[in-house]
C-alpha cells in the first residue's frame, strides 16, 4: 500500500485519522524540519500543493539506514522545512496516471512557549514541622524535559520553567474551614487528598504570576463537590494543576494535565461535543479527562485548531 507514514513515532506526523498531517517547526535552523516517509514510493510522484516557501527534499535511503527504519528501500523519505508559517499546504502522492494515492496536510508552526511553574505544597506534620505534602521525589528539570518530549515534536509547544518555589499552606484554621472540618479537628487539617475544587481559590492565590500554568505537587488529588468526590491522578482548573505522587508511575501525567490547560481554547461544555471527544481515543491524552495516560499521540487537527492555534 502506498501511503504517508511517520519516520519516528510521536514526532509530529499523524496518520491515524483523516486529515493526515505533519507538524513542521518554523525555521530557519538546523533542527527546524520534520520528515515523513512514503511506503512503496518508487515510481510515485510527490507534489506540493499550496504552502508557499515550503521546501520538500527527497532524502536518500542512507537516511533510512541511519535511522534504522524497519522499512524496505522502496520507501521514500522526505524532509520538509519552511522559513515562513503556513497551514494551507499539502503533499500529494500520485501515480503515473495522475491519480492521487494519498494526501498529507502540512502545518508550519511558530514555536509556542508556555511559562511553567512547578511548586511543591508544604504542610505541617503532627509535630508542627513543615514537610512536603508530596512523598515522591521530584526533579524539576526531568519533569519539564518529559513534558517537552511529548509536546515539542508534535505541536511545537515548549514549556519553560520559571520557578519551583515551595508553597507552605500552614493556615490551619483556613484549611480546616475549607474542608468543612469540625472546630475540634485534630491538626494538621491538610493530611489527606487535596481537592482542587475546594482549594481552587487558595491555589490561584499562590499561582506564580510570571507563569501561565502553575502545577502544585501533592501526595493525592481529589476533585468534585462534597459527597461526590473522585480521586484522579491530577486535575487542572483555571491555569492551576494538582499533580499527585502517581506521576512516579504515570510519566505522561504532567503532559496530560498540560493538555487540559492548552485545550481550554476551543473547548465547549456542549454534551454532544463532550460525547464525541470521549469516543475519540486520539483525544485521550489531552481533553476531557482521558483515562489512558499511556496514549501520547497529539492529533494533527487538534494541534492546529487548539493546542498551537496561530
Domains of the chain: which residue ranges? 4-109, 112-307
Distance from C-alpha of 280 to C-alpha of 67, rounded to nearest angstrom:
31
Distance from C-alpha of 157 to C-alpha of 113, rounded to nearest angstrom:
6
Strand duo 112-124 + 167-168: pairing: parallel
Rounded to the nearest integer, the mean pLDDT of the chain is 88
Taking the CB of residue 185, how many other CB atoms lie within 10 A of it? 13
CATH architecture of 4-109: Sandwich (2.60)
Domain 112-307 CATH (choose: 3.40.390, 2.40.10, 1.20.272, 3.40.630)? 3.40.390
Distance of CA 154 to the CA centre of its chain: 9
Torsion of CA 279, 112, 196, 244, to 10 degrees: 80
Burial class (CB in 10 A: 0-12, 13-18, 19+), 108: buried
Cα distances from 140 to residues 120, 143, 193, 247, in angstroms, run 10, 5, 22, 12
Half-sphere exposure of 171 (CA within 13 A, CB side): 8
Strand duo 76-82 + 112-124: pairing: unpaired
* pLDDT bucket at 71, cuts 50 / 70 / 90: low
Alpha helices for the chain (secondary structure H): 61-66, 140-155, 172-178, 200-205, 253-262, 271-279, 300-302
If you average pLDDT over residues 227-248, what whole number do you get? 92
Least confident span in 59-63, 246-250, 285-289: 285-289
Strand duo 34-38 + 213-217: pairing: unpaired
In DSSP notation, 159-183 reads EEEEE---EE---HHHHHHHTT--T
What's residue 291's pLDDT?
A: 43
* pLDDT bucket at 215, cuts 50 / 70 / 90: very high
First to last CA, the chain: 34
Matching CATH topology for 4-109 and 112-307?
A: no
Q: Phi and psi dihedrals of 83, rounded to 5? A: -100, 0
What's residue 205's pLDDT?
A: 97
Confidence check: pLDDT of 294 > 70: no
Cell numbers given for 83: 522559513
pTM comes to: 0.90
Taking the CB of residue 23, how many other CB atoms lie within 10 A of it? 25
> DSSP 3-state assignment of 245?
helix
If you average pLDDT over residues 94-111, what whole number do you get? 96
252-268 residue pLDDT tens: 899 989 988 988 754 54
Confidence check: pLDDT of 290 > 50: no
> DSSP 3-state assignment of 80?
strand
Q: Which residues contact 183 (CB under 8 A, 6 or more apart)?
A: none
Amino acid at each position: 500500500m502506498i501511503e504517508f507514514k511517520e519516520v519516528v513515532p510521536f514526532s509530529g506526523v499523524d496518520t491515524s485519522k483523516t486529515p493526515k498531517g505533519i507538524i513542521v517547526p518554523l525555521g530557519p535552523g538546523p533542527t527546524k524540519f520534520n520528515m515523513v516517509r512514503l511506503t512503496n514510493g518508487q515510481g510515485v510522484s510527490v507534489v506540493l500543493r499550496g504552502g508557499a516557501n515550503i521546501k520538500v527534499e527527497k532524502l536518500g535511503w542512507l537516511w533510512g539506514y541511519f535511522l534504522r527504519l524497519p522499512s524496505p528501500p522502496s520507501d521514500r523519505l522526505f524532509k520538509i522545512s519552511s522559513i515562513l508559517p503556513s497551514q494551507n499546504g499539502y503533499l500529494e502522492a500520485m501515480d503515473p496516471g495522475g491519480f492521487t494515492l494519498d494526501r498529507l496536510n502540512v502545518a508550519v508552526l511558530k514555536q509556542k512557549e508556555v511559562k511553567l511553574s512547578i511548586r511543591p505544597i508544604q504542610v505541617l506534620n503532627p509535630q508542627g514541622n513543615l514537610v512536603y505534602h508530596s512523598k515522591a521525589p521530584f526533579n524539576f528539570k526531568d519533569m519539564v524535559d518529559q513534558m517537552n518530549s511529548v509536546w515539542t515534536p508534535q505541536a511545537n509547544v515548549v514549556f519553560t520553567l520559571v520557578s519551583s518555589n515551595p508553597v507552605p499552606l500552614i493556615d490551619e484554621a483556613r484549611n480546616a474551614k475549607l474542608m468543612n472540618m469540625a472546630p475540634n479537628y485534630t491538626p494538621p487539617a491538610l493530611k489527606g487528598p487535596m481537592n482542587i475544587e475546594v482549594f481552587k481559590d487558595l491555589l490561584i492565590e499562590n499561582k506564580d504570576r510570571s507563569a501561565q500554568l502553575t502545577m502544585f505537587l501533592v501526595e493525592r488529588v481529589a476533585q468534585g463537590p462534597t459527597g461526590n468526590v473522585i480521586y484522579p491522578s491530577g486535575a487542572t482548573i483555571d491555569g492551576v494543576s494538582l499533580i499527585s505522587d502517581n506521576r512516579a508511575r504515570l510519566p505522561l501525567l504532567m503532559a496530560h494535565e498540560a493538555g487540559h490547560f492548552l485545550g481550554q481554547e476551543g473547548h465547549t461544555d456542549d454534551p454532544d461535543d463532550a460525547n464525541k471527544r470521549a469516543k475519540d481515543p486520539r483525544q485521550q491524552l489531552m481533553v476531557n479527562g482521558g483515562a489512558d495516560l499511556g496514549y501520547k499521540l497529539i492529533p494533527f487537527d487538534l494541534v492546529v485548531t487548539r493546542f498551537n492555534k496561530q
